[in-house]
Amino acid sequence: MPAHSDTESRPTPGSDIDTESRPTPGSDIDTESRPTPGSGTDTESRPTLDTAVDATALDATTAEGADAPSRRRRLEPDERRAQILACAIDMFGERPYAAVSTAELAQRAGVARGLINHYFGNKRDLYLAVVRRMVTLPRPEAMTVPTGTMRERVDASVAWLLDTIGEHGHTWVKVTGHEGIGDDPEVQRILDEADTAAADRVVRMMGLEESLHSDELRALVRCYGGLVKAAGREWIVRGSLTRQQVHSLLADMLRTLITETFPNVHGDN
């Protein structure tokens, strides 16, 4: 605090205080209350590094003294969860599982670390959520079953597969290639269910779901899924094949499977 104060009383002649309250050199009074170096007072309330106020988030209309709203909109729980999951998908695609830190993830997502535990549990639970997201297919009613010749159906099916892979390329490759937490039973269960769902979808897109031997065909398509994963790695990770080259490979193999391999397998029974 200043060593001297000045009320509204006028000083008598000869006093040490000026009627305009101008401080003399070396005095402790400053009518603008500018803090001295090291003091804890600042009447202009300039935020320090420890304050939680971001000056860039304040509206210019604060000249009238109103509190300005923050530019960051408060998210609903589902939106916040989706935001955290999107950041996790990126991070697990960028680095190995062991190198992903939930503290860094929280910083990237702009949330408190406790929110990750609240929405997902521990790090493994979060990774399982990423795996599910990578292999989740659109709802059947949201998908248009292709029509036309067998070649046209195959091309449409392969294009759909590559669109699904390409959405989160590197993360998809790592998740389906068991590059995350290794031989985890829960991860394997999720991937097995996804392989079956994808095989069902391909059979449906081929218009063969009513076949009396559709279970055998689904098994063959699940085997075909191994080629899809390997081709996806060559395209996305290694860059040794273009998407068009991968499309040609997968389309040729799927046509052969349906028109030649499946009839031969069925005929052997």
Residue 182 DSSP one-character state: S
At 73-111, the pLDDT tens digits run 577 888 999 999 999 999 999 999 999 999 999 999 999
| pLDDT at residue 143, rounded to an integer | 66
| pLDDT at residue 139, rounded to an integer | 67
Tell me the C-alpha distance between 215 and 125, whole Å: 32
Cβ neighbours for 161, distance < 8 A, ≥ 6 positions apart: 198, 202, 228, 250
- What secondary structure, in 3-state letters, does 98-167 show? HHCCHHHHHHHHCCCHHHHHHHHCCHHHHHHHHHHHHHCCCCHHHCCCCCCCHHHHHHHHHHHHHHHHHH
8 Å CB contact between 113 and 106:
yes
| pLDDT at residue 250, rounded to an integer | 97
| pLDDT at residue 179, rounded to an integer | 75
Tell me the C-alpha distance between 223 and 191, whole Å: 13
Below-50 pLDDT ranges, the chain? 1-72, 269
Kind plus residue range of the DSSP H or E element containing 16: none
